[in-house]
Amino acid sequence: MITEFTVEQPRHDETAIILCNGPSLRGVDLTKLPKVATFGMNVAYRHWSRIGWFPTHYSCLDEVVGMHHQSAIAEMIARAGNGAPSRYFLRRNVIEHLGFGDNPRVVNFDDLADSHGALSRQPVTTGSHTLIWAVTLGYRQIFLLGADSNYVEVVAGAEFVEKTVLRIVREAENPNYYFDDYQQPGDRYNLPNIGGETHLTSWRVAAAVAAETDVAVYNFSAISHVDAFDFADLGDFLAGRPISVEPRETRRLRLRLLRSSRAS
C-alpha cells in the first residue's frame, strides 16, 4: 500500500482549478477560492450569475449543449474580462454560428485539436479536455473540483429526442449536478456517459497527458468515481496548509477492504 503524503501549497501563477459540475461541489463557496486560474464549464454559468462570480476560463465541448446555450455564451463573451470569463474554449459549430472566429478571446477546440496531438485524443469530454487545455497553457499543478463521474444517465424529467440527445421536459430532482436548476425544462444535451465508461476513460486519457508533461493533478472530490488521479484535501488547500494527499492505489485498497467487511 502506498501511504498518504503531503504536498506544499503551489505557486498561484502555476496553479489552475478545474470546476466540473458534480454534486461534490455543492456547498463550496466559489468566491472563497484562491486567486488562481479557474476553468468552469457548460451550464454552470447559471450559478455564477447568481453569486456574482465567474471563473477566468470557460469551456463547452458538447456541440448540443453549446448550440442550445449559444445566447448565454455570446453574452459572456461580450462581457469577457468584465464580469465574465476572459477566455473561451468552444466547438467550431458554436463559434461559426456566433461569428466569433476572429475573437482573440475565443479558442476553437477543433482547430487546436488538429494541431495539438494531446487534444485530439479520444474520447473527448468537456471536463477531461479542459484539463488538457490547462496543461497546454502551462499550468503545472491542477486541482479538480466536482469531478465525480457518478451520473444517473437518464434523469427524471428527461426524454430522448434523438439517439443520444435528450431534452428536459419537466422539473424533477436531478442528482447529477451541484445546484438544483443546472438543467431546466427545454434544455437539450447529449447522453452524459455514452457507452458506460466515456467519462472515466477520458479522465484516464487526460491523466496520461498530464504525466507526459510532468503536471501534477489532484482530485478534491471525496466521492469521485474517477480513478486517474490522487485525492487531495480541499480544506488544506483553502486554509493554505500543506495539502494532504491520498494516493488512488491506497483508496482502491481501502474501498476493497470496506466492501469486504460489509459483505462478511
Report H helices in the chain. Answer: 45-51, 63-68, 70-78, 92-98, 109-115, 126-136, 198-212, 234-239, 248-263
Exposed, middle or buried, 26 (CB in 10 Å: 0-12/13-18/19+)? Answer: exposed
Adjacency order of strands within the sheet including 165-168: 158-160, 165-168, 188-190
Please report, in angstroms and rounded to a whole number, the separation of the first and last CA atoms in the chain.
Answer: 22
| Percentage of the chain modeled with pLDDT above 90 | 87
Q: Note the pLDDT of residue 159.
A: 96
Question: What ranges do the domains of the chain cover?
Answer: 11-149+196-263
Q: Which of 36-45, 90-99, 179-188, 255-264 comes out lowest in average pLDDT?
A: 255-264
CATH classification of 11-149+196-263, choosing from 3.40.109.10, 3.90.1480.10, 3.40.50.11810, 3.40.50.720? 3.90.1480.10
- For the stretch 235-254, pLDDT in tens is 999 999 999 999 998 887 76
Stated length of the chain: 264
Average pLDDT, the chain: 94
Greater confidence (220 vs 252) lies with 220
pLDDT over 90 at 129, yes or no: yes
